[in-house]
Chains A and B, each alone.
Chain A
């Protein structure tokens, strides 16, 4: 488990270094995920220990958003002042984005299935 955690941290580190070295506008961990994915493709899959450690972390992904999410407490005043445009924008846009994405993807997959050119 410690080895797996070390590997994850090393890929995050590599991502952070790469982001700063070439000035990418993306956070280091996202690049780290990409690098680790390439590594898994080359290696032919994760080890048993890595599967367990990654599974454990991802099972409690919700927990990891709580500290930053609680930061909403700092914006009580602004939220009180602009609650209507912010609420409408968040609710409207989130559901619109989900609906549009799901409908487009669904339609494209169906069309492809109907044409019968799904890869075997």
Chain B
């Protein structure tokens, strides 16, 4: 690089502007591709954006911390957006209330399945203990998963990464899985995707219909609460079960 270009690069690499612009640019590009693909689940915008950004960071040798200095302004909005989920929840309240019993049972069984099967498959195939503890909360929203993983001996940032992959898998696969299982009700599909794939699944559900989105938001919130409260009790039991 010429000295002038190096100077510009030094400025950009240190300024939060670059991380923020890159995030928004990657999202715009991913949205454009997603629309072009007719909102096909395989063109998931979170997956595409993250793939683009990871490539940029690796190629330009930019540390993640520098990138996050700028991207944190977007990250911050997750808080108010989570609070805003109460609005679609309210809109679906009559239907949710009428289904309270079945939803509670599905929540308990689904939540246990999500945590135990992740732990079990990982343990049988020989994942390290830190990975297992980061895997167990993989179905709940990122901030909860990170908070739950740490005291159990997991790695919070790894938990966040596993949560993201889980979200993308659910967002991509739910349609095919439910079609194969002959489940058409958007309320059922939404509840399942929100329970297993938290906010990224919920984001996908909102693109399908408001009803699916509201049920996904409900399942995400409830499973987050339940997992945070139950995982510290369930895991010692799972450890014994899988001989750890």
Contact = CB atoms under 8 A, between A and B. Distances in A.
Interface of A: 5, 8-9, 11-12, 15, 25-30, 32-34, 36-37, 39-41, 45-46, 50-51, 53-55, 57-75, 78-79, 82, 84-86, 88-106, 108-109, 112, 118-119
Given A85-B124, A88-B121, A106-B188, 15 more contacts: A8-B80, A29-B78, A29-B143, A34-B86, A64-B81, A66-B53, A69-B161, A71-B64, A75-B158, A79-B161, A89-B127, A93-B114, A94-B169, A99-B181, A102-B177
Contacts of B206: 58-59, 61
Contact of A98 (B143, B192, B200): B192
A70 B54 contact: yes
A52 to B, nearest CB: 10
A102 B169 contact: no
B88 interface: yes
Contacts, number: 318
Contact of A67 (B68, B85, B121): B68
A99 B192 CA distance: 8
Given A25-B147, A104-B106, A69 B87 contact: no
Given A30-B225, A36-B86, A67 B170 contact: no
A63 B102 CA distance: 32
B211 interface: no
Nearest to A43: B90
Q: Ordered nearest first, which 9 A-B pairs have the shortest CB separation?
A: A101-B110, A67-B71, A85-B125, A108-B102, A29-B82, A97-B114, A85-B127, A93-B118, A54-B84
B83 A27 contact: no
A66 B86 contact: no
B165 interface: yes
Contacts of A101: 106-107, 109-110, 113, 191-192, 195-196, 219
Contacts of A98: 170, 173-174, 177-178, 192-193, 195-197
Nearest to B144: A27
A12 B83 contact: yes
Contact of B173 (A67, A72, A95, A104): A95
Given A46-B90, A53-B84, A67-B75, A72 B50 contact: yes
A73 B181 CA distance: 35
